């Protein structure tokens, strides 16, 4: 089932999400619905707060980037096959010189800005079977993970922009929270309390 994606301005996007246990009610169905919602909106990632739940789950699927000629064939191959569910993730370490990448977010449609992040991360998480992994990622995969991880920490990519950029997009963000925007996927707008 495709769930409505929560728009910028909803307080759930600002909560530090809580860890879950294996016994979380209907977890399998929830993960399935999150996947459907992410694919339905052509996203490369989706975090539980974006469907209104302040719990530590996010999904990443970088395959849409594999079409991008900006990347080498080898990178495209890696991006094409990277699909992962992250439960109870904690980033343990980030390193390297920050690099810029133009980010967007399903909760903030039509806003794209360059965001600076470190290129390498070490993360501990549980998969859908609650097996714990500690892994290192870099490049674009690390980038998407960092963006989704921020969601479960209550952080949005727009928080990371300069104060000038923030001022420039202020009106756009306020329109998004009021639902004054055209989107081709289901969204829920905080100021409207209505679905569409
Ligand atoms: Zn996002």
Range name among 27-31, 84-88, 101-105, 188-192 with the lowest pLDDT average: 188-192
Give per-residue pLDDT as tens, 1-55. Answer: 999 999 999 999 999 999 999 999 999 999 999 999 999 999 999 999 999 999 9
Please give the distance, rounded to the nearest whole angstrom, from the Cα atom of residue 108 to the centre of ligand 1.
Answer: 7
- How many angstroms is it from 152 CA to the middle of ligand 1? 10
pTM of the model: 0.95
Beta bridge partners of 190: none
25 C-alpha vs ligand 1 centroid, how far in Å? 24
CA of residue 46 to ligand 1 center, whole Å: 7
Residues marked as catalytic: 148
Unique residue bearing structure tokens 């909560």: 15
- Which pairs count as long-range contacts for 18-24, CB under 8 Å and 24+ apart, including other chains? 18/54, 18/55, 18/56, 19/55, 19/56, 19/88, 20/55, 20/56, 20/57, 20/87, 20/88, 22/130, 24/55
Cβ neighbours of 75 (radius 10 Å): 17
Where does the pLDDT of residue 195 fall: very low under 50, low under 70, confident under 90, or very high at 90 and above?
low
Residues 112-165 have pLDDT tens digits of 999 999 999 999 999 999 999 999 999 999 999 999 999 999 999 999 999 999
In the reported structure, the alpha carbon of residue 72 is separated from the centroid of ligand 1 by a whole-number distance in angstroms of 25
Of 148, 150, 146, 149, nearest to 159 (Cα)? Answer: 150
Phi, psi of 174 (to 5 degrees): -65, -40
Cβ proximity of 196 and 7 under 8 Å: no
* 67 alpha carbon – ligand 1 mean position (Å): 21
């Amino acid at each position: 089932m495709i769930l409505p994606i929560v728009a910028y301005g909803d307080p759930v996007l600002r909560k530090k999400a809580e860890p879950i246990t294996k016994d979380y009610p209907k977890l399998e169905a929830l993960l399935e619905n999150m996947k459907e919602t992410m694919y339905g909106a052509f996203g490369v990632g989706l975090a539980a707060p974006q469907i209104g739940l302040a719990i530590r789950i996010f999904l990443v699927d970088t395959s849409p980037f594999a079409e991008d000629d900006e990347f080498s064939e080898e990178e495209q191959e890696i991006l094409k096959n990277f699909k992962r569910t992250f439960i109870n993730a904690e980033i343990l370490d980030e390193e390297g010189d920050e690099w810029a990448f133009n980010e967007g977010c399903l909760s903030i449609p039509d806003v794209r800005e360059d965001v600076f992040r470190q290129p390498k991360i070490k993360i501990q998480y549980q998969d859908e079977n609650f097996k714990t992994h500690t892994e290192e990622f870099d490049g674009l995969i690390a980038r998407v993970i960092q963006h989704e991880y921020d969601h479960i920490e209550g952080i949005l990519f727009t928080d990371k922009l300069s104060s000038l950029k923030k001022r420039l997009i202020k009106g756009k963000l306020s329109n998004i929270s009021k639902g004054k925007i055209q989107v081709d996927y289901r969204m829920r707008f905080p100021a409207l309390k209505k679905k569409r």
